Amino acid sequence: MDTTNPTARALLCLELLQDSPGITADRLGERLGVTSRAARRYVGILREAGIPVQSTRGPYGGYRVGRGLRLPPLTFSSAEALGLVMAVLDGHHDAGNPADPVGSALAKILRALPDSVAAQADAVRRTAASAPDRAAARPDPTTAATLVDASAEHHRVRVTYHSESGRTWDVEVDPWAVVVRHGRWYLLCLTRPTSDEAAVRTYRVDRVSAVEVLDLTFTPPPDLDPVALLERHLATGWEYAVDVLVEAPVEIVSHWLPRALGRLELVDERTTRLVGTTSSLWWYAEQLAVLRAPFRIVGCTELQEVARAVGAQLLAAGTPGGAGQPQSASSS
């Protein structure tokens, strides 16, 4: 790009504003190779073109691109464009499909870029073969956006939720955060029931069929760590309560089992208790099968029955000439 051309300088000015929010007129002039007064003229040109460039006075003031009715032009390097495509492909395996909303949006971005920047990224988007993550569950974009906005604005919501077992219910919650974990979207929230005490819950966003934003507001915990709290509460609030005794120390069991299964409690130096809940008994029994120490399911007769079925299938698979009956697994 010929940076002595006024149009090229205006585009470079926009790129500098996007990359360095709060940049001063003096610094902007240095990067453009002009005086600070000329840099202000280029900012004026951008404003005349409808780009919402904001300015703040004072020792810590400067220019930044604000939010407006029109989306300002985006500038990417070839590495940034390729990185964007790779990130989308990693999380959304229909990124090359023009009929898919994500694929369509990504194609629009790439079409707006110079050929020299977009060529490699577009080739990767169209030809890369992504193996779909069967554990991933993408929610409705509008539902996810509504929950994210409610969380940011601290507005209580009423959601309609469907469990894997087919049960449906409405509940009012304070949406503390929306967390993406291993390809799944979760709503971390505080329930607001009419009779029972409020409780921290985690709901799969893809199982939320309706959201109503209420006028009531809330204040989230000041020390909230959404990811850590999500891990602790993924195993709470489901249909089946689980109680398992494992003949191994807590520090060893913690390396064998994912934290989403429940809470590990010390019984004695050689015994650990696992306490949790689940809506998918078969999946839960499969997770327990990785334990390398003896264990007993003591608190859930339904899980005991499923564990016997899983065990029978494993025994059949290990018997010459035997054949088990495969069953599908899903996560709570």
- From first to last of its 332 residues, what are the pLDDT tens digits of the chain? 555 678 888 888 988 888 888 899 999 999 999 999 999 999 999 888 888 889 888 766 799 888 664 555 666 777 777 777 777 766 665 666 667 777 777 777 777 777 777 777 777 777 766 666 666 667 888 898 899 999 999 999 999 999 877 889 999 999 999 998 777 889 999 998 765 667 888 899 999 999 999 999 999 999 999 988 887 777 677 789 999 999 999 999 999 998 878 889 999 999 999 998 888 899 999 999 999 999 999 989 999 999 999 999 999 988 886 554 555 444 44
Q: How far apart are CA 322 and CA 313, in angstroms?
A: 9
By the 10 Å C-beta count (0-12 exposed, 13-18 middle, 19+ buried), 327 is classed as: exposed
DSSP at 192:
-
Which amino acid belongs to residue 289?
A
Phi, psi values for residue 229, rounded to 5°: -70, -35
Q: How far apart are CA 206 and CA 184, in angstroms?
A: 8
With vertex at residue 154, the alpha carbon angle to CA 151 and CA 158, rounded to the nearest 5 degrees, is 70
Q: Edge-to-edge strand order for the sheet containing 271-278?
A: 263-268, 271-278, 240-246, 295-297
Question: Tens of pLDDT along 100-139?
Answer: 777 777 777 777 777 777 777 777 777 766 666 666 667 8
Q: What is the pTM of this model?
A: 0.54
